[in-house]
Structure 1
Amino acid sequence: MSLAYAVTDSRIMITRCLRRSRRDPEAFFTALMLPIMLMLLFVYVFGGELKDSGSYVDYVVPGLIVLCAGFGAGTTAVALAADLAGGIVDRFRSMPIRASSILLGQVAASLTRNLLATALVIGVGLGIGWRPTTSVWRWVGAVAMIVLFILALSWLAAAVGLLAGGPEAANSFTFVLMFLPYVSTAFVPTRTMPAALRGFAENQPFTPIIETMRALWMGHTSTGASLGHEAWIAGVWGVGILALSWAGAAWLFRRRFAA
């Protein structure tokens, strides 16, 4: 019975968070439309100068997906911080529900929103000329990498939301996550960057994740490394961030609401 109660509590919290997203259309549509507008901007305004080889849209789609996931995770941090500041979490904890379902609802809603935004980015990319040359199994691998990355960022956002003093402080997290993809291989190869910046871009978590998706979809990376090399590094980053963020968010939640 306890498992059934846990599933029910989690389902209720997930439904609440999704309905909350629907009732905040400004933030919801911004999260959906921002990566699409950036794609059109980069492809049609900057693409002629920025393309490395072939069509620039083939290069830029993976970077826009991680940018979209970063913005969506930032939204999750703000939503959780707003719940904490508004006192609704205290009311939930006074009810006979599992405390873990409160965080799980935010993370599951974040995953749903980000997967929807990712599907839109992929759909628009296909509509304007993105042509992945890959197999079904490589598509499965790319989707698995996206899900792992979104889950890792969502749990990281939950930890930030618990740490932040309010929605305004949590909102700054959005800008950090949106800035990091620009200093990666999302939009240009690292060899075009100054040496000091190149070292950071090549060794931050976004780059191997982007390169893994690029290799799975297009058959090559912009760094010259193999798919196996990039996928191994991306997996370590993704699992490491997920594990640390999940443990940190759970510890912060217990510490903040300890009796």
Structure 2
Amino acid sequence: MSSLPLAVRDSSTMLRRNLLHARRYPSMTLNLLLTPVMMLLLFVYVFGEVMSAGIGEGGADRSAYLTYLVPGILLLTIGSTTIGSAVSGATDMTEGIIARFRTMPIHRGSVLIGHVVGGVLRCVMSVVLVGAVAVAIGFRSTNAGVTEWVAALGLLTLVSLALTWIAVGMGLSSPNAEAASNNAMPLILLPLLSTAFVPLDSLPGWFRPIAEYQPFTPVIETLRGLLLGTGVGHHGPLALAWCLILITLGYLWSRARFRRAPA
């Protein structure tokens, strides 16, 4: 069998294996998914009136803050969901499954592809679910047409791919599943240190460079520009650049760790 059909066949098998594992152990996915949902409800219904005072026009309005908050929560959802990919990669590495796969006549890249594609699918499903919760409690995007929604979904998928590659690299580099879960925590913490919850100009001066020059802020602002009609500006190219950089770094890191796995 030629290389391409072999790669497609083996990658499909590894993807099916990855999805079956996620289905058999749904508690982790559920726990990771509940975090952004709880954050959404907490900030809207507990802090919404206060936080919206500096965002909504014409005084405090919880719905204005909900509209502002949702793009950041979607990024937090992706970061939270990718921890499952880190744990899955660490489990395969430490339990010797990857070493066994390396001795079998399968396409080398199929193991990584199965983890990454499975992780991206979980991220997209999580984003859709959290987005549905946001719509159910009042989120509306009246300024976005079909093109803007497709672009937003494409960007979220690209971010999912980038963070999943990083998470897989973290998992393959971790000594066990618990360490992989802890090592992947920055994927949840960084959105909290961005413009997800408050505008950049409301942050302390010493903290603004941290929020401004990190990957999540341009992605969040691009989503706001697409869905809320505020304009994408320079954030769009920055978001795409960050995604490509993270995909490249995550891929090279994961491939290096996979090749160094004991046979």
Name the counterpart of 1:212. Answer: 222
Tell me how far apart the structure 2 counterparts of residues 235 and 216 of structure 1 sit (CA, whole Å): 14
Does structure 1 residue 138 correspond to structure 2 residue 148?
yes
SS of equivalent to 2:244: helix
Q: Is the 8 A contact 1:67 1:181 kept in 2?
A: yes
| SS of equivalent residue, structure 2 residue 107 | coil
Give aligned pairs, total.
Answer: 253
Provide the residue aligned with 1:153 in structure 2.
163
| Superposition pairs of residues 159-178 of structure 1, within 5 angstroms | 159-178=169-188
Deviates more, 1:24-33 or 1:119-128: 24-33
Q: Check if 1:230 corresponds to 2:235.
A: yes
Letter in 2 for 1:236: A
In 2, Cα distance between the equivalents of 1:33 and 1:111?
A: 18
Structure 1 match to 2:81: 72
Partners of 2:186 and 2:33 lie apart in 1 by 19
The answer as to whether partners of 1:31 and 1:117 remain within 8 angstroms in 2 is no
- Alpha carbons 1:111, 1:150 under 8 Å: kept: yes
Aligned to 2:130: 121
Q: Which residue of 1 aligns with 2:106?
A: 97
Deviations 1:73-128 (A, max 9, x none): 12211110011111111222222111211111111111111101100111111111
1:208 Cα deviation from its structure 2 partner: 0.1
- Secondary structure of 1:256's aligned partner: coil
Alignment of 1:28-47 (within 5 A): 28-47=29-48
Across the aligned residues of Structure 1 and Structure 2, the Cα RMSD in angstroms comes to 1.3
Give 1:223's aligned residue.
Answer: none
Which whole-Å deviations, capped at 9, do the CAs of 1:192-213 have from their partners, x for residues lacking one? 2111111110111100000000
User: C-alpha separation between the residues in 1 aligned to 2:26 and 2:33?
Assistant: 10
What is the letter of the counterpart of residue 241 of structure 1?
L
User: Residues 116-162 of structure 1, C-alpha deviation per residue, up to 9 Å, x if partnerless?
Assistant: 11001111111111111211101111111101101000011111112
List runs of 5+ in structure 1 lacking aligned partners: 221-225
TM-score, structure 2 as length reference: 0.92
Distance (Å, rounded) in 1 between the aligned partners of 2:187 and 2:16: 26
- Contact 1:14–1:109 (8 Å) recurs in 2: yes
1:73–1:110 CA contact under 8 A, matched in 2? yes
1:26 is matched with 27
Matched, 1:49 2:50: yes
> In the alignment, is the contact (CA less than 8 A) between 2:99 and 2:261 conserved in 1?
no
Structure 2 equivalent of residue 188 of structure 1: 198
* Pair 1:179-2:184 in alignment: no
1:200 to 184, 206, 210: 210
Q: 1:5 — aligned with what? A: 6
Aligned partners of 1:202, 1:231: CA distance in 2, in Å?
A: 14
- Give the match for residue 112 of structure 1: 121
Instruction: Give 1:240's aligned amino acid.
Output: I
Equivalent position SS for 2:180: helix
| Among 223, 235, 239, the residue aligned to 2:244 | 239
Preserved CA contact (<8 Å) 1:164 1:170: yes
Indicate if the aligned counterparts of 2:90 and 2:172 stay in contact, CA closer than 8 A: yes
What residue number does 2:90 align with? 81
Bigger drift between 242-251 and 208-217 goes to: 242-251
- Higher mean alpha-carbon deviation, 82-91 vs 248-257, is at 248-257
Matched residues in 2 for 1:105 and 1:18: separation? Answer: 9
Structure 1 runs of 4+ aligned residues shifted over 4 Å read none
Equivalent position of 1:252 in the other structure? 257
For the 8 Å contact 1:82–1:167, the answer to whether it is kept is yes
8 Å CA contact 2:194, 2:212 repeated in 1:
yes
